[in-house]
Amino acid sequence: MKALTYQGPGKKQWSEIPTPVVDKPTDAIIQILHTTICGTTWKNCGSRTLISQPAW
């Protein structure tokens, strides 16, 4: 599956990552419908531009 990954300040890229699997009875796979990021984290990631539409 594809994921937008942080590669360092100002460096983000789409990466192929393994699809999650349920290994134990206590595991769960969830689907995230909405998310956000706080301004401090956004600044620490090296971005100065807000994204106005989904990254996909």
Q: How is the chain split into domains, by residue range?
A: 1-17+30-50
pLDDT at 56: 56
C-beta contacts of 2-8 below 8 A and 24+ residues apart: 2/56, 4/55, 6/45, 8/46
Across the chain, mean pLDDT equals: 78
Q: What is the mean pLDDT of residues 10-18?
A: 87
Q: Among residues 40, 36, 30, 31, which one has the least CA distance to residue 54? A: 36
pTM above 0.85, yes or no: no
pLDDT at 4: 85
